[in-house]
Amino acid sequence: MSIPKPSRPEYSTTIPSTGKKIKYQPFTVKEEKVLILASESEDLDEISNAISNVLSNCVTTPGFDPQDLALFDIEFLFLRTRAKSIGEKISVKITDPNDPSYQAEKEINVDSIKVETVEGHTPLIDISDDIKVKMGYPNLAFFAEGVKIDSLAESTETVARCISSIVIGEEVYNRSDMSVEEIAEWLDALTAEQFKKIMHFFETMPKLRHVVKCKNPNTGKEFRAVLEGLADFF
């Protein structure tokens, strides 16, 4: 006779980007081992895969797929699941930007870590009187490489990967009908001002962010450390 598996408690939360409520359970010991091994490897691809697999196992809402969520949704959900599994507090090391020799360890309550939003942010962008672009948020595929928008070439590729549809007059061109290369070529034909409107989407999109305040005993001065994205909390 096989031993029945222990039952796990179930919790609910709301996905920030969609407002949809989902139910989830804490990690099992087996899943926690997977996360620890991924963290110790320091390989971002392994960490990304581990997070995806663990969330797929922990979320009980039918039809859930972590690949469908924005990266900040994944980060938020993972922290909530971690809190119910390991503890409500996370220990992080922060460095004084004005005195790199000083590093402090601080405890953060997971419930205080929020997805910050900017008023007026929208995924539907008016490029001109008859052209609109609907954007999709960077997903888990961007976890290892980051959202690259530091150069024009990188920005064009990032935008091309995130465009959900292009509306020109009455015609709608869906992402599923276009390749990244086709979209990138179309983006290259925009004016600098039109492209800047799209980049504003990335500059204002929601992000997992938390500010930690600390005092450096060596200098006697207070400093702030900004933690952004899951890598800073993992």
- Average pLDDT (154-175) is 93
Give the separation between CA 108 and CA 234, rounded to whole angstroms: 12
- Average pLDDT (180-185) is 93
Residue corresponding to tokens 């922060």:
94
Helices (H) and strands (E) in the chain, counts: 6, 11
Residue 233 three-state SS: coil
Instruction: Examine the pLDDT at 230 and tell me if it is beyond 80.
Output: no
Instruction: Examine the pLDDT at 187 and tell me if it is beyond 90.
Output: yes
Confidence of residue 234 (pLDDT cuts 50, 70, 90): low
Q: Choose between 225 and 196: higher pLDDT.
A: 196
Q: Nearest 5°: phi and psi at 112?
A: -85, -10
Give the separation between CA 216 and CA 34, rounded to whole angstroms: 36
pLDDT digits (tens, 9 = 90+) for 103-155: 988 888 888 888 998 999 999 999 999 999 999 999 988 887 788 888 888 89
Longest dimension (CA), the chain: 70
- Cβ-defined contacts of 102-108 (< 8 Å, 24+): 102/216, 102/217, 102/218, 102/219, 104/214, 104/216, 106/212, 106/214, 108/210, 108/212, 108/227, 108/233
Structural domain boundaries of the chain?
Answer: 11-88, 124-204
pLDDT digits (tens, 9 = 90+) for 2-28: 787 777 889 999 999 989 999 999 988
State the DSSP string of 110-165.
Answer: GGG-EEE--TT--SEEEEETTEEEEE----GGGTTT----SSHHHHHHHHHHHEEE
pLDDT digits (tens, 9 = 90+) for 34-59: 888 888 888 888 888 899 999 999 99
Average pLDDT, the chain: 89
- % of the chain with per-residue pLDDT over 70: 98
Give the separation between CA 50 and CA 33, rounded to whole angstroms: 10
Task: Give me the pLDDT at residue 1, please.
Answer: 65
Q: What is the pTM of this model?
A: 0.84
Give the separation between CA 21 and CA 123, rounded to whole angstroms: 21
- Among residues 145, 149, 120, 125, which one has the least CA distance to residue 136? 125
* β partners of residue 166: 133, 173
- CB-CB neighbours of 7 under 10 Å: 7
Q: Choose between 226 and 61: higher pLDDT.
A: 61
Task: Give me the pLDDT at residue 204, please.
Answer: 93
- Among residues 68, 113, 94, which one has the least CA distance to residue 207? 113
Q: Nearest 5°: phi and psi at 47?
A: -65, -45
- Average pLDDT (173-181) is 92
Q: How many angstroms from the chain centroid is the CA of residue 181? A: 25
- Average pLDDT (171-175) is 94
Q: Choose between 106 and 231: higher pLDDT.
A: 106
